[in-house]
A = this chain, B = another copy of it.
Amino acid sequence: MNIGQAAKATGVSAKMIRYYESIGLIPKALRSEAGYRHYSESDVHTLRFIRRARDLGFSVEQIGELVGLWRDRGRASADVKRIALEHVVALERKAAALQAMSRTLRHLAACCQGDKRPDCPIIEELAAPGADGGEHPHEPPRFGALHVP
């Protein structure tokens, strides 16, 4: 199977398959004489595994660990569970951060007339030094970056 077929069969783009190979997430594919990559059913299986893990928001690094555990018949399910739960924590933290922003904005927007006049509590909040009791040190709430695919 060529890379395009593998891509269609797994939902992982050819570009990404090559990328995963380049960073060592998957082993180097066998090549035809002409240099075309060739994929077996087993490779396709692995790629599907990877895609599902990506769909659950795991980073490539985490996926590497998961693939390793998947292959390891002697794995402890505790290791898998730990990775999963760490990810759950990260996901929920990020979701909460987004919802906090959303909530704030919805409240502000609810107070905004939304007409032709310029008065707007949203702009005022952004501009306002309003009651900024010690907002200063601005310890920026630390969350990791997230790419929601």
Hey, which bits of chain A sit against chain B, CB under 8 A? 11, 45, 48-49, 51-53, 55-57, 66, 69-70, 72-78, 80-82, 84-85, 87-88, 91-92, 94-95, 97-99, 101-102, 104-106, 108-109, 112-120, 122-123, 125-127, 129, 135-136, 138, 140-141, 143-149
Contacts and interface: CB of A to CB of B under 8 A. Distances in A.
B92 A102 contact: yes
Contacts of A92: 98-99, 102
- Copies of this chain per assembly: 2
Nearest to A54: B140
Given A70-B123, A78-B114, A138-B11, A97 B49 contact: no
7 contacts: A57-B101, A66-B126, A74-B118, A75-B118, A91-B102, A92-B99, A98-B98
Contact of A116 (B49, B76, B149): B76
B148 A80 contact: no
Interface centre among A118, A125, A149 (most CB of B within 10 A): A118
Contact of A118 (B11, B77, B125, B129): B77
A49 B114 contact: no
A122 B57 contact: no
A6 to B, nearest CB: 13
B75 A120 contact: yes
